[in-house]
Amino acid sequence: IHASLKALEQPLAFDPEMPADEFPRWRERVRAKLRELLRFPEVPPQPEPRMLWREPRDGYELQKWEVYPEPLAAVPFLVLIPDGIPTPAPAVLCFPGSNRTKEGTPARASWPSPRTIPAWASYAATCSPIAESRP
C-alpha cells in the first residue's frame, strides 16, 4: 500500500524544481484547497483593540489591552512601554509560562528595574495571558 500511495500523483505537491514565477500561483491553489478542506467559517469584522487601563511605573508605563480575534473571544495582554521611547518602536513578546499570571510578570519586586536591562531602552514589551487577575 505504501508503494501505491507514493506512486499517486498529488496535484498540489510542492515541486522543488518549480520556477519562481509559478510559486505564487501554486501557493494560492494550496491556500484555496486548505480553506475548502478546513471549512473555516467566515468571521465578521471584529472590534478594534482597546486599552482597558494604564498605570505609570518606575521607568515605564504598564498598559492592559484587549483584542478580539473572533466572535465571543477577548484576549487580554499587557504592554510595557519604557519612558522616553521613540515611537513607533519594535516590541518583544513575553510569555509568562504556567506558574504566574501576565500581571505578575512585570510586577515582580525581586526583578531588576526595566531600566537596568540594556535592551529595554529601545523596545516595548507585551505579556500574553495565562490566567486572569488584576495586580
Give the tens place of pLDDT for each residue, 7-60.
Answer: 888 889 999 999 999 999 999 999 999 999 998 888 888 899 999 999 898 888
50-89 pLDDT tens trace: 999 998 988 888 888 888 888 888 888 888 888 888 878 7
Q: Please, which residues bridge with residue 63 across strands? A: 54, 79
Q: What distances in angstroms separate CA 108 from CA 55, 80, 115, 116, one per listed residue?
A: 15, 14, 14, 15
Q: How much helix, strand and coil, in percent to the nearest 5, is found in the chain? A: 25, 25, 45
Query: What is the pTM assigned to this prediction?
Result: 0.54
Highest-confidence segment of 50-64, 89-103, 119-133: 50-64
**Residue 63's pLDDT is what?**
86
